[in-house]
Amino acid sequence: MSLNGRVAVVTGGSRGIGRAIATTLAAQGAAVAVWDLNADGADETVAAIRAAGGTAIACSGDASDRATIAASAARTRQELGQVTILVNNAGISGFEPFLSITEESWNRMMTINLKGPFLCTQELLPDMLAAHWGRVINISSSSAQTGAPAMGHYAASKGGVIGFTKALAMEYAPAGITVNNVPPGFVDTPMLRESPVDVDDHATTTPMRRAGKPEDIAHAVAYLASDEAGYVTGQTISVNGGRYLV
């Protein structure tokens, strides 16, 4: 697979899954814009890409704010070119018993996890329409597939991402644009390590007896971004070590 000549945006690319996706797409030949609120982390990802011989820039800002998204998109187009690959990876998690979830907590989860992909896709889709080729890959969650206690707001937001993926896939298939989503399942990331889950203990209860790696998700994303996946759209590509079977 080759992504030579493609320009990709990866939101939330400063660490974990986002960083793995950005470096993997760059290794396949794409020029990558790393968008993240964490400017230092985004710079570190870009430095790793450049050290490996790739092309990348970092754009600092909130991927759920329309003005910031527009500014990042303008800089990306100016420095790298028109964007034809978008990976909506930026997101937050949270564990709260349902009756303890406040309206503010619910709204924040929906703003970052669901409104963010909507705004980023709306900004960059015209580039893909002009190119008659495009890839939108949304990072959802296996928690939306299985349900998860104390994660009602998170599971709902990621379930929305799955529905959003299917709707856009149907609407833009005639234009040569594919839209798919990857729901990670129990992947060892800084976000998971910061949660109340005992990662190493829980890993022993999974079918593969190990946690996933960010690179496991990144390779699935790279496939969906490629020409080889041109007839794949509207799909949920579960990368979860057997946690959820469809």
- Per-residue DSSP letter, 13: T
Cβ(82)–Cβ(127) under 8 Å? yes
Where in the sequence numbering do the catalytic residues fall? Answer: 154
d(CA 101, CA 118): 23
d(CA 25, CA 215): 11
The radius of gyration of the chain's CA atoms, rounded to the nearest angstrom, is 17
Closest CA to 72 of 11, 3, 18, 134: 11
DSSP string, 182-222: E-B-SB--HHHHTSSS-HHHHHTTSTTSS-B-HHHHHHHHH
- Using alpha carbons only, give the angle 67, 88, 104 rounded to the nearest 5 degrees: 65
Closest CA to 156 of 172, 169, 140: 140
d(CA 177, CA 185): 26
d(CA 204, CA 234): 32
